[in-house]
Amino acid sequence: MKLLDFLKRERIVSHLEARDKEGALAELVDVLVADKSVKDRAGAVEVLLERERLGSTGIGEGIAIPHGKLKELDELVAVFGRSPEGLEFDSMDGAPVHLFFLLMAPENSASTHLKALARISRLLKDRAFREELIQAADQDELYAIIAREDERY
């Protein structure tokens, strides 16, 4: 499974405006609403917030991988967002989050959802990759960096 199978260039946000967890989740969902992947914005945000109540998807080292499942989806979709300043996300290590990979999956897609989470986690273990993402100038450069790493592994 490749990341670019479910992450399109248009779904990369180089500068999130949000300053808190709920705002970041809503801003990332808005990308999926804009490209018509998600119709029920409020429902999608609530699914993500429910998941966060179980435990933060802020996995540490400036990374969060919020995820949830929606009945309305036919396929796995992702959004990448970057907060150069970082924002509070109740991360496991208490550090601000800079890099967000939002995953939304169809309700009955357990294995695909888990494979996607594993793929993203594996890519983000590389400190140099994370630094490149933080330093990238814009959406095009972010996409190029992600595409290069996606091919490498």
What pLDDT digit, counting tens, does each position of 114-133 carry? Answer: 999 999 999 999 999 999 99
Query: Would you state the pLDDT for residue 110?
Result: 80
* 67 part of the active site: yes
Can you give the residue ranges of every domain in the chain? Answer: 3-152
Q: Which residues contact 134 (CB under 8 A, 6 or more apart)?
A: 62, 82, 84, 98, 99
What's the CATH fold of domain 3-152?
Mannitol-specific EII; Chain A (3.40.930)
pLDDT band of 23, cuts 50, 70, 90 = very high
Query: Would you state the pLDDT for residue 118?
Result: 93
Q: Strand 63-64 to strand 97-106: parallel, antiparallel, or no bridges (unpaired)?
A: parallel
Q: Which is the catalytic residue, given 15, 67, 98, 113?
A: 67
- Of the candidates 128, 126, 66, the one whose C-alpha atom is nearest the C-alpha of residue 97 is 66
Residues 6-15 have a mean pLDDT of 97
